[in-house]
């Protein structure tokens, strides 16, 4: 790939003739353990490889993190915030290169790659301000001459397990908050995008070195689900933040709960947009198409379902079919293209199986799907975004398909549409398209959307970092990023100070002796 060698070099990932890339990653010397090779879904070429973490190396990482925590936690939070601020500045410097790597290794469009790095920068800015606002409450005591208050302390080692679809931003959501809270982090990035993980660590390592921050404040480990199992079973990690499928999250949640640890789960979505008779159909089309095909349908917030009122159904359907005919599919680093590839051949197989299931379960294809072939599609990971008419109760519709397949369905009454939207196992993101105040307020009320995110006149994807991100039901209940999500990375402590010469008991209890 043209310019990719320069990108790798800028990010500290020096490619050699054998196709391997090495970088400082706290997991042993290059060549130790088995290699994980990273192939780009853009052109099928080998980008590089990294070492798979061995159990011995994992233990070394945890010990390094434990020692670093002792140094990091007593540093005043605003001083920790200053280090995070400098990381944000370093990301600004390397935004273009890291955005290109995200696009090339994962397959999302270059604009989305840049957007993901911008999310990292934004959360750094947010965390810097947060470092001066880790506040607790002052509480009136029922006992005279007593003062009660609460304060928040660092948890310790935060384990972060992230997915391929956002190979850098989700780590930053977690780690930047955890850092200003006084925690240290051990990150297992996706084995499908290991170079993105390494690039983030390389940039951070320079910032740490310039500030005399111990290396163990941020560690990475690499491998498949077995490495994740080491983390979830490790009592030395009081918090595991895991992003992935609902199936994975149920396993992680059960294991961590079994050792009475904490888990922050960001799992699957099955997101819907309700289109009412009062919708602005132009923005409806734009929002629905980007939500459905952005990142080739591989966002947890991707629009899976469009629930359309009978009176506008045909118009919305025609608009979508027309828009899909104008989509340009190809190299995501070419900014004239709208849609890049799926992450790998397994994702393509799941896409094809889902299309087959639509037909078997009684659905009708409006825009046919399929694997694209020919020049520019040699990787075998490019597919045609498709649209199907379905029933919400179909098994395939109840399932999260991580691919650009959009399901259309009808409704007559808004209460019916809200029920259809909510009647899936997942509860991440939702939206309604309407210019009617009453419709929007009903959708946002306690009897409306049951999702963690509910939008009006925007799509289901593209959340800002200022709000807490996450969902309900099989989405896991976790919250990351903005608002008061920082509390997940700290432990709450209630303190009572008696400044009298007596020791009265709460609830008026008498305990006299002598």
**Main-chain dihedrals φ then ψ at residue 212, nearest 5 degrees:** 55, 35
Distance CA 437, CA 417 (A): 17
Residue 176 and residue 167: Cα distance in Å, rounded? 15
| Residue 300 designated active-site | yes
Whole-number Å distance between alpha carbons of 362 and 365: 10
Cβ count near 327 (within 10 Å): 15
Nearest 5°: the CA angle 480, 437, 278 is 105
Relative to beta strand 364-367, strand 303-309 is unpaired
Please, are residues 365 and 385 in contact by the beta-carbon 8 Å criterion? no
Return d(Cα 419, Cα 449) in angstroms, integer.
8
- How many whole angstroms from its chain centre is CA 507? 46
What's the rounded Cα separation, in Å, for the pair 179 and 176?
5
Contact between residue 52 and residue 35 where contact means Cβ atoms under 8 Å apart: yes
Question: Do residues 345 and 381 make contact, with C-beta atoms less than 8 angstroms apart?
Answer: yes
Upper half-sphere CA count for residue 500 (Cβ side, 13 Å): 11
Residues 6+ apart with CB under 8 A from 80: 72, 131, 179, 180, 182
Around Cβ 415, how many Cβ atoms within 10 Å? Answer: 12
Which DSSP category does 375 fall into?
A: T
Instruction: Tell me, yes or no, if 413 is annotated catalytic.
Output: no
Q: How far is CA 173 from the centre of its chain?
A: 8
> Which is catalytic among the residues 10, 191, 266, 439?
266
Taking CA atoms, 311 is separated from 78, 98, 111, 411, 412, in Å, by 56, 46, 36, 9, 8
What is the spatial distance between Cα 293 and Cα 363, in angstroms, rounded to a whole number? 20
Count the neighbouring beta carbons within 10 Å of the beta carbon of residue 314.
10
175 Cβ contact list (under 8 Å, min separation 6): 158, 160, 185, 187, 218
d(CA 367, CA 319): 12
CA gap 509, 511 in Å, rounded = 7
Which tokens is 318 given?
A: 């025609």
* Residue of 124, 219, 300, 386 with catalytic role: 300
CA angle 440, 444, 445 (to 5 degrees): 115
Residues forming the active site = 266, 300
């Amino acid at each position: 790939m043209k310019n990719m060698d320069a990108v790798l070099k800028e990010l500290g990932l020096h490619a050699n003739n054998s196709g391997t890339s090495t970088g400082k990653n706290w997991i042993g010397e290059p060549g130790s353990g088995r290699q994980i090779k990273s192939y780009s879904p853009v052109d099928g070429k080998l980008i590089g490889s990294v070492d798979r973490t061995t159990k011995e190396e994992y233990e070394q990482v945890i010990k390094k993190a434990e020692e670093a925590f002792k140094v990091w936690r007593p540093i005043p939070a605003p001083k920790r915030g200053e280090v995070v601020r400098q990381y944000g500045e370093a990301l600004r410097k390397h935004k273009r290169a890291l955005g290109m790597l995200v696009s090339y290794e994962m397959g999302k469009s270059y604009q989305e790659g840049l957007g993901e790095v911008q999310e990292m920068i934004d959360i750094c800015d947010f965390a810097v301000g947060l470092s001066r606002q880790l506040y607790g409450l002052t509480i009136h005591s029922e006992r005279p001459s007593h003062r009660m208050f609460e304060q928040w302390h660092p948890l310790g080692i935060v384990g972060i397990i992230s997915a391929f679809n956002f190979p850098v931003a989700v780590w930053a959501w977690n780690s930047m908050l955890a850092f200003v809270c006084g925690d240290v982090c051990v990150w297992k990035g996706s084995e499908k995008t290991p170079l993105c993980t390494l690039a983030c660590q390389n940039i951070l390592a320079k910032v740490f070195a310039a500030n005399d921050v111990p290396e163990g404040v941020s560690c990475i480990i690499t491998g498949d689900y077995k490495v994740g199992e080491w983390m979830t079973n490790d009592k030395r990690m009081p918090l595991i933040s895991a992003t992935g499928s609902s199936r994975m999250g149920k396993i992680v949640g059960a294991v961590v709960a079994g050792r009475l640890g904490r888990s922050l789960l960001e799992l699957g979505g099955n997101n819907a947009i309700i289109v009412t008779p009062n919708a602005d159909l132009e923005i409806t089309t734009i929002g629905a198409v980007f939500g459905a095909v952005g990142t080739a349908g591989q966002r947890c917030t991707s629009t899976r379902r469009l629930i359309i009122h009978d009176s506008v159904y045909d118009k919305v359907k025609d608009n979508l079919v027309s828009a899909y005919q104008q989509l340009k599919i190809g190299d995501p680093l070419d900014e004239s293209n709208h849609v890049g590839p799926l992450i790998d051949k397994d994702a393509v197989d799941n896409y094809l199986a889902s299309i087959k299931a639509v037909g078997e379960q009684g659905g009708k294809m409006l825009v046919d799907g399929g694997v694209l072939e020919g020049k520019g599609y040699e990787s075998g990971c490019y597919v045609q975004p498709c649209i199907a008419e379905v029933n919400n109760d179909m098994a395939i519709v109840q399932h999260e398909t991580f691919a650009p397949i959009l399901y259309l369905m009808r409704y007559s009454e808004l209460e019916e549409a809200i029920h259809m939207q909510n009647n899936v196992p997942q509860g991440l993101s939702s939206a309604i398209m309407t210019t009617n105040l009453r419709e929007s307020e009903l959708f946002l009320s306690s009897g409306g959307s049951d999702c963690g995110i509910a939008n009006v006149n925007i799509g289901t994807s593209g959340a800002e970092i200022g709000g807490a991100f996450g969902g309900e039901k099989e989405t896991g209940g976790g919250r990351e990023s903005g608002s008061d999500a920082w509390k997940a990375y700290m432990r709450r402590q209630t303190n009572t100070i008696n400044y009298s010469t007596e020791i009265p008991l709460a609830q008026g209890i008498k305990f006299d002796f002598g």
